[in-house]
Structure 1
Amino acid sequence: MDYELLCNKVISIVRLTANFIRKEALQFDLDKIEYKGLNDMVSYVDKTAEEKLVLNLEKLLPDAGFLTEEKTSTKKGKTYTWIIDPLDGTTNFIHGIPTFAISVALYEEGKPVIGVVYEINRGEMFYSYKGGPAFLNRKEIHVSVNPDYKSSLLATGFPFYEFDKQPEYLNLLSDLMKKCHGIRRIGAAAVDLAYLACGRFDAYFEYTIQPWDIAAGCFIVEQAGGEVFDFNGQKDYLAKKEIVATNGLLTQALFESINKHFKN
């Protein structure tokens, strides 16, 4: 398998799909919103973008399966699985906030081998492939070298439909905001991870997160020299739907903070 060649083909497919999303953003009507659950919104843009991705990715690896947010394909694959979020940051998109992305990962026998995150409005393509470094628009990227909280900028996501851990989460935020340069909530986990990979953020954490939100970004972070875990310090973040990602230097400090407030 030539992972670099395959990654370049994925990038072309993602760019093509992004053109559709960018066009629809200019004329999107709030009346076209559907609700999958509490505060969990979707539109024809998400669904159509996913259909375009699935159709074209299937041509690259006909035997591959799919794990997709909008479930336009539930095909199972023995060796390969594409994990897709066609529009990460749907709430931003719906409200006209220009931070949303396409996220595509390829897993081979349960291990990531390709990750692509395209932040559409800034035209920033983050990607990596097995055996290669991480890139932003063809330039190699690395996580930051900030060694402690006092020089760091953190990222997180707010729970929007499961609030059972809200008190612990708010206490954690109160603790962290006194120690670092600040905490950002962009509203697109794939972008959070991409920004961590290129050194804009130094750490990112979130719970109640879905595999398609983070699969590509996690791989890119690790390829850029960072570390990714679940809240128990294990690597089961996709199944656990929780994530702690850092530049590697903040891992211990962030876990100490999390463990003060979350009991796993």
Structure 2
Amino acid sequence: MNEKDKVPYVVSSKSYTAVAINCAAKAGEWIKSRLGTVAQLSTKTSAQDLVTEVDKGAEQMIRKLILTHFPDHAILGEEGVEPGPEASAQALEAARQEEYLWIIDPVDGTTNFVHGFPFFSVSIALVHRGEVIVGVIYDPSRDELFVAEKGKGAYVHGNPTEVSKEEKLSSSLIATGFPVETSTLLPQNMAALQALVPKVRNVRAGGSAALHMAYVAAGRLSGFWEVGLNAWDIAAGSLLIQESGGTVTDLNGRPYELSVRNVVATNGRIHNAILDVMKEASTGS
């Protein structure tokens, strides 16, 4: 056992990471307290794309906390962007020019939250000159905090995380999610699902991309893929996985960067196998 395994991770109280943790914890506590109290429910791009006053309130809380500490930093949050992939891409392109950019999803898994299904999370990432340097994902239902700092590893409750050791699809538990853009992206996702199900141990679809990625980092899942995502769904989780020894790419195997919307995240060992199956499914070969 190396020294990293022995010593719990400690965060400086004035660090970027400490602020991200504080934001996620405070927002998560408030979100949990609002379970079962949603009075107003709206949709964005489709009937499956929900937003509540809790999403908006949590994002406002996180924004205020960040700007209290770092008033010159930029913030890109899901609830501050107009619905649709074009608006998301435009907002990201404008924001990514900033030296420091916080990317936040106040409630990743809003549908689960609305129905009282305990699989939703707060996702916060800090980007410095285009590179994710801090990633925090908090699960209020289980009080689990996943934290990563660039070059310093990833942790859950202060203990180092490590991706799973499965080397074959047949022994791998993987996860996916279903896109809100059902007319264009759902057929692509279903083709991949149909191709992968017979080849893996099983597939889960929990409804929070951020938590799925945290679970890949923690070795609970060997892989995850989803299409039609946005930077706030993926950014924090991408760093968690990379710092835990895993791999995050687009569907063509290109390394993750902020504009990627179709993502494959794995322990690294099964990555090429998943990409190959998905490529075959998309081409029909």
Normalised TM-score (structure 1): 0.92
Contact kept in structure 2, 1:50 and 1:70, CA below 8 Å: yes
Q: State the distance in 1 between where 2:135 and 2:187 align.
A: 34
Distance in 1, matches of 2:51 and 2:262, equals: 22
Measured after TM superposition, the shift of residue 237 of structure 1 is 5.1
Residues 1:260 and 1:237: Cα distance change in structure 2 (over 3 Å): farther
Say yes or no: does 1:51 pair with 2:60: yes
In structure 2, the gaps of 5 or more residues are 1-10, 82-90
Counterpart amino acid of 1:254? I
Structure 1 unmatched runs, 5+: none
Partner amino acid for 2:184?
A: D
Q: Which residue does the alignment assign to 1:161?
A: 181
1:33 to 41, 44, 61: 41
Q: Does 1:23 align with 2:33?
A: yes
Determine the structure 2 residue equivalent to 1:207: 227
In the superposition, relative to structure 1, how do residues 205 and 237 fare at CA in structure 2: closer, same or farther (>3 Å)?
farther
Pairing 1:42–2:62 present: no
> Which amino acid counterpart does residue 43 of structure 2 have in structure 1?
Y
Q: Show the 5 A alignment for 1:57-206.
A: 57-71=66-80, 76=95, 78-206=98-226
1:160-186 alpha-carbon deviations (Å, 9 max, x no partner): 323324334323212211111100000
Rounded to whole Å, the distance in 2 between the matches of 1:164 and 1:194 is: 27
Give the root-mean-square deviation of aligned CA atoms: 1.9
Aligned to 1:7: 17
SS in 1 for 2:141: coil
Alignment partner of 1:200: what SS? coil
Give the structure 1 partner of residue 254 of structure 2.
234
In the aligned structure 2, how far is the partner of 1:98 from the partner of 1:166? 24
* Distance in 2 separating the partners of 1:206 and 1:90: 17
Verify the 8 A CA contact 1:104 1:216 in the aligned structure 2.
yes
Pairwise CA distance, 1:37: 2.2
Deviation by residue 1:98-131 (Cα, 9 ceiling, x = unmatched)? 1110000000000010000001100000011123
In the aligned structure 2, how far is the partner of 1:60 from the partner of 1:116?
17
Looking at structure 2, the residues matched to 62 and 247 of structure 1 have their Cα atoms a distance apart, in angstroms, of: 37
What's the secondary structure of 1:37's corresponding residue? coil
Letter aligned with residue 108 of structure 1:
H
User: C-alpha separation between the residues in 2 aligned to 1:87 and 1:12?
Assistant: 16
Q: What SS is found at the alignment partner of 1:146?
A: coil
Q: 3-state SS of the aligned residue for 2:80? A: coil
Question: Is the 2:189–2:227 Cα contact (8 Å) retained in structure 1?
Answer: no
* Residue pair 2:23, 2:62 contacting (<8 A) in 1 also: yes
Q: Distance in 1 between matches of 2:255 and 2:73?
A: 23
- Report if the CA contact (8 A) 1:162-1:208 is conserved: no
